[in-house]
Structure 1
Amino acid sequence: MNIGDRVRLLHGKEEGVITRLSSGGQVEIEIEDGFRIPAMKSEVVVIDKAEKEYFDTPSSSGTLFSGESRPKPVENVHKGGFFLAYVPYNDQVHDVLLINTTKKEYLFSVDELQGEASKNVAAGVLQPGSSTKVAEKMIRDFEQWPPLKFLMVPLNKQVEASPKPIERKVKFKASAFFKHKGKAPLIDKEAYFFKLNEQERLLDVKKLNEELNPDDPEIYLRKKINRPASSIDLHIEKLTENHDLMSNGEMLQLQLTVFEKSLNDAIASGMDEITFIHGIGNGVLRKEIHRYLSQMKGIKYFKDSQKTNFGYGATTVKIHE
């Protein structure tokens, strides 16, 4: 039983990824929404092994089918871009590689972040269709890995249109990191790998904020209001496909932006009420939603939704009688 193994509690329905091994036979498991629970090794079972004993059915690859609970391997996508890959050197040490599958030369810089401070760990020029090692990481120290900041600036050798610089901050959750295993682009080796320049294309928080806070309120009123659904699911995986490289702050900002826009549209379109499904998790999103609603005028009241409908992971806003 190792860090990164996906396990299930023997006497419960919870599943998750081992993030820490402690003395005395105890482990820490990260379950849905990043919530972590302690358990004894004797109380958990590695999912692959459990499924093997249950199904006992070999697959074409020689391993055993483990059902939907087994993390799916990442597709080997070779589209142009920058990738971050954690390639095993041995059972414990992983080489951290920066991979450039584009046709351009880039200046790059990699910093480790400590609060407001930072330390540069790698910098240089990365040629098109090449990779470079920027660090080494011990899997057993996963919980202590600091956030990383990447900056890639294209180099033009002649006068031509230039791609925008790429800037990403990365802090992994165990439940997301260990799902992304497959053949890394270009190097064609087994690794945990992630595309660094994809999120900017999918997420435009600034544009969403501009829609919520237009310079001229009359312009917003003249726009066609799209009546939102009666219930809005704010789980991050429902809002964006590529949330694995987002920090907790970025995910919360996106969730709150969608919440505010949906609430404003509900009010403008004359809806009686709307429900926001935020889940339980660590309660941060629920607190932020309730804080916002408590300071807002123009609504009748808000309350936790009935358990029979959404559990205690939803808030219903009453707008009109």
Structure 2
Amino acid sequence: MNIGDKVRLLHGNEEGVITKMSAGGRIEIEIEDGFRIPAMKNEVVIISASERQYFGDGVKVEKPTAFTPGTLNTDQKEGVFLAYLPINDKDHSIYIVNSSERSYLMMVSEVFGDNSQTLVAGELPSKGSKKIGEKSISDFEDWPTLLCQFFPIHKKIEKTQISFERRIKFKATSFFKSKSKVPLLDKNGYLFKLSENTKDINVKLLNEELKKATSSPSTTNFPRPEKSIDLHIEKLTKDYPFMSNSEMLKLQMETFEKNLNYAIAHGMDEITFIHGIGNGVLKKEIHKYLSQLENIKYFQDTDKSRFGYGATLVRIS
């Protein structure tokens, strides 16, 4: 039994990935919604082959849903990728792989709160790769956030391509599902495409939007929200596999507050927020926030037939 193994509790329905192992047979499991629960080794059973089996002796394993190990779909062959290649059953080499036709200036840093350390900076050539470091799976919980920034190189006069960045903090349940053959390097590893669903770095456009907003403060440009807002993280961003629990909660609360403010600004009588049941953290944060507002008549669990107990109706005064 190793970190990265998929297991099921013998006395429960929970399934997840082992993220931590301690003395005395204690382990920590990350379940599908990203939350971690403690257990003992004798309380779980492995339900998928270990990392060593996949990379080593060739035992057939569960295939990831995104793409089949050893192949890439047509739309996934070209782009910029982050890849973790096994050195042994614990240690992995980290590569940035560029299988596209364009070269980039690249900077990759590890982020520690307000501090950071640059791992590599320089040109990432077309059809090329660069090793940026090594990591051990046994330290998975302590891996810092990776900030990857890419600036396209234009070697001729052509339409300007926008720079992009990706901030990555892995969850075990998504990381260990990402096995595939790495483009160019032609080896099996954990593979993540960085050049899709990216955050553009466009300072000029951002400044123009801020200038426009401040030049007409009296104009109401707020969109009118829907009567019900789904706060499930997969509805808000495609990047959720790379986000920590705190980052997901922050995005969900920002979406909740923004749409509540829009509803108040448009004079809506009520609005419903679908937060799901889960472990109740998001619901508690929403109710705590609402309890501090004076212009809310009341809020309550709503419409069991549609949402179960996973939604809150907010009546606006």
- TM-score, scaled to structure 1: 0.77
Report the CA distance between 1:96 and its aligned residue.
Answer: 0.5
Residue identity matched to 1:315: T
Structure-2 separation of matches of 1:249 and 1:39 = 23
Gaps of 5+ in 1: 50-60
Measured at CA, do residues 253 and 80 of structure 1 come closer, stay the same or move farther in structure 2, by a change above 3 Å? farther
Say whether the 8 Å CA contact 1:29–1:37 is kept in structure 2.
Answer: yes
Aligned residue number for residue 277 of structure 1: 275
Report the CA distance between 1:217 and its aligned residue.
Answer: 6.1
Give deviations 1:117-157, integer Å, cap 9, x for gaps.
11122222111011111111111111111111112222222
Aligned residue number for residue 177 of structure 1: 175
Q: How does 1:136-215 map to 2 (within 5 A)?
A: 136-200=134-198
Match of 2:296 among 279, 299, 314: 299
Structure-1 separation of matches of 2:123 and 2:11 = 53
Measured at CA, do residues 201 and 108 of structure 1 come closer, stay the same or move farther in structure 2, by a change above 3 Å? closer
Aligned residue number for residue 55 of structure 1: none
Say whether the 8 Å CA contact 2:147–2:167 is kept in structure 1.
Answer: yes
Structure-2 separation of matches of 1:92 and 1:218 = 57
Measured at CA, do residues 282 and 300 of structure 1 come closer, stay the same or move farther in structure 2, by a change above 3 Å? closer
Say whether the 8 Å CA contact 1:266–1:274 is kept in structure 2.
Answer: no
Measured at CA, do residues 273 and 219 of structure 1 come closer, stay the same or move farther in structure 2, by a change above 3 Å? closer
**Partner SS for 1:128:** coil
Report the CA distance between 1:13 and its aligned residue.
Answer: 0.8
Report the CA distance between 1:247 and its aligned residue.
Answer: 4.8
**Partner SS for 1:199:** coil
Structure-1 separation of matches of 2:315 and 2:22 = 47
Aligned residue number for residue 14 of structure 2: 14
Match of 1:74 among 67, 71, 85: 67
Aligned residue number for residue 105 of structure 1: 103
Gaps of 5+ in 2: 50-57, 201-205
Residue identity matched to 1:16: G
Report the CA distance between 1:80 and its aligned residue.
Answer: 3.6
Aligned residue number for residue 240 of structure 2: 243
* Higher deviation after alignment, 302-311 or 241-250: 302-311
**Partner SS for 2:190:** strand
Structure-1 separation of matches of 2:232 and 2:123 = 39
Say whether the 8 Å CA contact 2:7–2:16 is kept in structure 1.
Answer: yes
Say whether the 8 Å CA contact 1:273–1:318 is kept in structure 2.
Answer: yes
Identity value in percent: 48
Residue identity matched to 1:255: Q
Residue identity matched to 1:24: G
Measured at CA, do residues 120 and 80 of structure 1 come closer, stay the same or move farther in structure 2, by a change above 3 Å? same
Give deviations 1:243-289, integer Å, cap 9, x for gaps.
22245555334323432354356554745452432444472x33442
Structure-2 separation of matches of 1:29 and 1:117 = 29
Residue identity matched to 2:67: V
Aligned-pair Cα RMSD in Å: 3.4
Match of 2:314 among 292, 313, 317: 317
Measured at CA, do residues 31 and 162 of structure 1 come closer, stay the same or move farther in structure 2, by a change above 3 Å? same
Measured at CA, do residues 191 and 42 of structure 1 come closer, stay the same or move farther in structure 2, by a change above 3 Å? same
Report the CA distance between 1:22 and its aligned residue.
Answer: 1.2
Aligned residue number for residue 28 of structure 1: 28
Structure-2 separation of matches of 1:243 and 1:227 = 23
Say whether the 8 Å CA contact 2:94–2:135 is kept in structure 1.
Answer: yes
Structure-1 separation of matches of 2:126 and 2:34 = 36
Match of 1:90 among 88, 95, 107: 88
Structure-1 separation of matches of 2:97 and 2:308 = 44
Structure-1 separation of matches of 2:247 and 2:184 = 29
